[in-house]
Amino acid sequence: MNDAESPPGVGRIVRIVQGRETGNYAVVIGVVSERFLLLADGEKRKFDRAKKKNISHVEVTPHVSNEVKRSIEETGRVTNAKLRFALSSAQEQPQLLKEGE
């Protein structure tokens, strides 16, 4: 398995491309298997009610929230406020949102 096929790690910000939440961004808070991720955004999809999503239904972005990653590694949890902050600060970066999206 090479890096292109490996699932994104905890803390990675992804864009949902299939399903009801198409076009929304979320943070990977867990990897269930090679095919499935646990996603949360801190607002609609909170940490306690994470969405199990097929990896082929998300688009991986180059952004990683080190704060979320560190929090999950240390305590096994992350606050919804940290998730919202990670998404809002990543969306302020110009590479995440493309023209016309």
Predicted TM-score (pTM) of this structure: 0.82
Q: What is the structure's pLDDT at 1?
A: 38
The verdict on domain 12-91 having CATH code 2.30.30.140 is: yes
Residue 61: is its pLDDT beyond 60? yes
Gap between the Cα atoms of 70 and 74, Å rounded: 6
Percentage, residues of the chain above pLDDT 70 = 86
What's CA 97's distance to the chain center, in Å?
15
Q: What is the structure's pLDDT at 53?
A: 95
Span 40-65, mean pLDDT?
Answer: 93
Q: What is the structure's pLDDT at 77?
A: 92
CB count in 10 Å sphere of residue 21: 18
Span 65-75, mean pLDDT?
Answer: 92
